[in-house]
Amino acid sequence: MVNGQEGLLPENVAFRHTATQSSLYGTWYSEYGVDGVRDSCTHTNTQTDPWWRVDLMKVYRVNRVAITNRLNYYYFRINGAVIRVGNSPNVYSNPICAVIPTIPSGATANFSCGAMEGRYVIIHIPGDGKILTLCEVEVYTYLGERIDGVEIRIGNSLENNGNNNPICAVIPAIPAGESYSYSCGGMEGRYVNLIIPGDMKILTLCEVEVYGEGPVLKRSFVKMQFNSRADLTDPSIGENVLKQMGSALADGGFTNVTLRWFKTPKREVMGKVGTAISHCDKGK
């Protein structure tokens, strides 16, 4: 069972991803909206329904979008802009997250999207003769996203830190704060690894629980006859014999063995030679 973590991602998932805008004014490029610098801005030409879009490269559950407005007299140009989140690159095909009433000059405003799912975040201004300019667009999602695509591997090898062991399951997603269970079908192994393939990844977990069956213990009963002058009915002598037998088994590679007498050894006389016939219980 794997438990996802609650809260917000500390990093901006739009940072330096591919951005596009409907037109270009001068050198105010679309990528300036995701470069992490709040005083470099995007800018379209004057047109009908100008838009700007960022491709997050995968589907996220978007919690909020933060937009930084330009710092000058033209701050009002952002008024009435629409934020959309969805899986279509088409401007009007995705649902609306929020409508921006206004953002003060040079300020950053946050807009809640309530875990809307989407690969694209699009900002556009409806109407004729409009200009869209943005200085930074930040997209934040949930910590639960960090577990998406995790591989659960089980095995006995530490090759590549155990990450080459067979795969039990791949986690598609776990909602924040929830726990999911994955069946491994009786896979055997000493090590359980969770790994996210790829570069620049973060793995965060709140709890990992592993349930299974331990090693099967077998009990064997062996009837043994000793030729000895020692009195095996003496408990101390009997225990010493068991220790010697345990050492002999360990030399043969049987280390996980516990020996004990099933019955108290009895001394029997056979002919002229005293022979002690004893019974012991060997548990493995």
pLDDT tens string 33-51? 999 999 999 999 999 999 9
**Is the pLDDT confidence value at 144 over 70?**
no
pLDDT of residue 237: 79
Angle subtended at Cα 255 by Cα 252 and Cα 256, rounded to the nearest 5 degrees = 140
Q: Which of 133, 173, 167, 161 is nearest to 2 (CA)?
A: 173
Q: Which H helix or E strand runs over 248?
A: helix 235-251
Query: How does pLDDT run across 260-269, given as a tens digit for each residue?
Result: 877 777 766 6
Task: Locate 209 and state its tokens.
Answer: 């629980």
Secondary structure class of 211 (helix, strand, coil): coil
pLDDT number for residue 270: 58
Res 204: pLDDT: 81
**Six token digits for residue 170:** 């791949």
H/E element holding 90? none
Q: Report the candidate in 140, 3, 134 with the shortest Cα–Cα distance to residue 61.
A: 140
- Reference 100, options 118, 117, 84; nearest CA is 84
Question: Two tokens at 28?
Answer: 């105010």
Residue 8 in this model has a pLDDT that exceeds 60: no
- Indicate the length of the chain as a whole number: 284
Judged against a pLDDT cut of 90, whether residue 71 lies above it is answered with yes
**Token pair of 64 as six digits:** 């909020």
pLDDT digits (tens, 9 = 90+) for 217-273: 666 666 767 676 777 777 787 788 788 887 887 787 777 778 887 777 776 665 554
Per-residue b or e along 92-101, where b marks 16 or more CB atoms closer than 10 Å to that residue's CB: eebeebbebe
Q: What is the dihedral of CA 42, 48, 52, 58, to 10 degrees?
A: -170
- Pair 168, 153: CB distance under 8 Å: yes
In the Cβ-directed half-sphere of 75, how many Cα atoms lie within 13 Å? Answer: 17
Residue 210 has pLDDT above 90, yes or no: yes
- The per-residue pLDDT for 224 is 67
Q: Identify the residue whose tokens are 């090898």.
A: 157
